[in-house]
């Protein structure tokens, strides 16, 4: 079997997605997700101009060799754009392998370690009462775990709380650590009273704090028993996690900004995090994610793959296959897709009573309709930018 053609399709069924379709001379094809929010065209060009020409004529069964060839066979390598491009190819190759074998991906990864994957989704609100009301709606749907964000008083626009953004240029949020640090512990104190002890609560700091600020927050959140505190710090200086870790009993999750397994090593070896949250679409795909999960297993660190709505259902399916297969699974982030997405994609992870599963279809078990994908053309879009009240740029 040989790779005969690779299509890169950019579609916007409510959100922009970059989809990869690897075709073979025997008619079997595989699909992958190469979406990088706000940088979609950069990934698409990297694929079309630099990566696809290398792969025509190659044997799609040789996933590891193709991965190494794209990553190590070139001098300039790594980073989010190239690793997202590589992820799109890697997923499509695993999809082909599964279809050839007639087996779902989880089976190729060693089979099921569990029958279903505990998941969480995002809840936000303009004030505490709105957060509670939204949480109750999702508890009603069956969710056992929720990631909670709230608008910060005095700050225009807050991470996790949606804002209308009519023009396509970045919305400018205002953000200040002081009000944030005063608000969040009170929010979780309120939620434990209002929602009880059983619900698993999570919070995403989104890398906005300095090390000592993160530590102050983590200490104050200890009594509310978070499932994890996500991305308290930026990934650039991993030693800062020691500040946070010392004398603080709160599970820490990290990894959505990572592009490779090497970024995980010092956090694992020094046991500075408890959950690894890489995005399968941004770290080079299923092959790299499996290696990361195996490295994490040594330290009893569990997986919590990134699963927001800005990656496509294809990547979400890949994540759930891994969740079912790896022994050190922790939790899976999930989202509700917009109705237009159901016109483009054939399958989505199956949600039932707070858990996710996948169908028994071979490979990833998700396809997309090229014709309808093309009917939703790319729309330029940016993530917001955050500034302090004095006008200076803040990490987003």
Active site residues: 159, 206
Helices (H), ranges, 166-312:
177-195, 211-221, 240-245, 262-269, 286-297
For the beta carbon of residue 286, count every other beta carbon within 10 angstroms: 28
| Residue 7 β-bridge partners | 21
User: Out of ligand GCO, Mg ion, none, which partner does residue 310 contact, by CB within 5 to 8 A per kind?
Assistant: ligand GCO
Place of tokens 């069956």: 142
Alpha-carbon distances of 318 from 21, 146, 287, 306, 315, rounded to whole Å:
15, 21, 11, 11, 5
Per-residue binding string, ligand GCO, 335-374, x by CB under 6 A, is ----------------------------------------
Instruction: Tell me which stretch binds ligand GCO (CB under 6 A): 84-92, 235-243, 306-314, 385-393.
Output: 306-314
Query: Which range binds ligand GCO by CB under 6 A, 20-28, 166-174, 260-268, 303-311?
Result: 303-311
How far lies 336's CA from each of 272, 308, 339, in Å?
A: 31, 9, 9
User: Using the rule CB under 6 A, is 383 a contact of ligand GCO?
Assistant: yes
37 binds ligand GCO (CB under 6 A): yes
Q: Whose Cβ is closer to Mg ion: residue 47's or residue 254's?
A: 254
323 binds, among ligand GCO, Mg ion, none (CB under 5 to 8 A by kind): none
Q: Is residue 308 close enough to count as binding ligand GCO by CB under 6 A?
A: yes
Q: How far is CA 188 from CA 160, 169, 242, 317, in A?
A: 16, 33, 24, 31
Q: How far is the CB of 378 from Mg ion (least distance, A)?
A: 24
Cβ contact 86:67 at 8 Å: yes
User: What's the min distance (Å) between Cβ of 230 and Mg ion?
Assistant: 5
Within residues 201-260, the interface with Mg ion by CB under 5 A covers 204
Convert residues 189-218 into a mask of x (bound to ligand GCO by CB under 6 A) and - (unbound).
---------------x-x------------
> Contact region for ligand GCO (CB under 6 A) — 179-187, 262-270, 304-312, 385-393?
304-312
Binding flag, residue 310, ligand GCO (CB under 6 A): yes
308: partner contacted, choices ligand GCO, Mg ion, none (Cβ within 5-8 A by kind): ligand GCO
Q: Which is nearer to Mg ion, 204 or 323 (CB)?
A: 204
Site residues for Mg ion, 183-212, by CB under 5 A, read 204
Does 333 help bind ligand GCO (rule: CB under 6 A)? yes
Phi first, then psi, for residue 346 (nearest 5°) are -85, -30
Half-sphere exposure of 50 (CA within 13 A, CB side): 18
271 and 246 in contact (C-beta within 8 Å)? no
Cα–Cα distances in angstroms (integers) from residue 141 to residues 308, 340, 351, in the given order: 18, 22, 10
Q: And the tokens for 358?
A: 């996948």
The footprint of Mg ion (CB under 5 A) covers 204
The footprint of ligand GCO (CB under 6 A) covers 37, 204, 206, 256, 306, 308, 310, 333, 383
């Amino acid at each position: 079997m040989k790779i005969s053609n690779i299509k890169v399709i950019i579609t916007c069924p409510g959100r922009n997605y970059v989809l990869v379709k690897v075709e073979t001379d025997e008619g079997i094809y595989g699909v992958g997700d190469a979406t990088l929010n706000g940088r979609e065209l950069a990934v698409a060009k990297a694929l079309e101009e630099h990566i696809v020409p290398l792969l025509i004529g190659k044997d799609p069964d040789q996933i590891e060799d193709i991965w190494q060839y794209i990553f190590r066979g070139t001098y300039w390598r790594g980073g989010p754009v190239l690793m997202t491009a590589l992820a799109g190819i890697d997923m499509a190759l695993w999809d082909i392998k599964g279809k050839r074998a007639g087996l779902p991906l989880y089976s190729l990864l060693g089979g099921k370690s569990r029958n279903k994957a505990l998941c969480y989704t995002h809840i936000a609100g303009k004030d505490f009462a709105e957060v509670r009301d939204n949480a109750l709606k999702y508890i009603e749907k069956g969710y056992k775990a929720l990631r909670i964000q709230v608008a910060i008083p005095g700050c225009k626009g807050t991470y996790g709380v949606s804002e209308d953004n009519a023009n396509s240029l970045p919305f400018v949020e205002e953000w200040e650590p002081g009000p944030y640090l005063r608000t969040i512990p009170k929010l979780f104190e309120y939620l434990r009273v209002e929602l009880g002890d059983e619900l698993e609560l999570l919070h995403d700091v989104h890398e906005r704090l300095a090390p000592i600020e993160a530590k102050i927050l983590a200490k104050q959140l200890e009594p509310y028993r978070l499932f994890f505190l996500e991305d308290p710090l930026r990934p650039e200086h991993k030693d800062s996690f020691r500040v946070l870790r010392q004398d603080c009993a709160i599970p820490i999750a990290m990894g959505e900004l990572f592009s490779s397994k090497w970024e995980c090593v010092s956090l694992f070896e020094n046991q500075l995090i408890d959950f690894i949250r890489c995005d399968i679409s941004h770290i080079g795909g299923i092959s790299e994610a499996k290696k990361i999960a195996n490295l994490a297993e040594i330290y009893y660190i569990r997986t919590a793959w990134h699963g927001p709505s800005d990656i496509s259902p294809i990547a979400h399916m890949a994540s759930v296959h891994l969740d079912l297969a790896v022994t050190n699974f922790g939790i899976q982030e999930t989202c509700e897709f917009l109705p237009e997405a159901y016109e483009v994609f054939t399958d989505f992870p199956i949600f039932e009573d707070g858990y996710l599963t996948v169908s028994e279809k071979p490979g990833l078990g998700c396809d997309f309709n090229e014709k309808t994908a093309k009917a939703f053309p790319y729309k330029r879009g940016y993530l917001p930018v955050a500034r302090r009240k004095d006008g200076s740029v803040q990490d987003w």
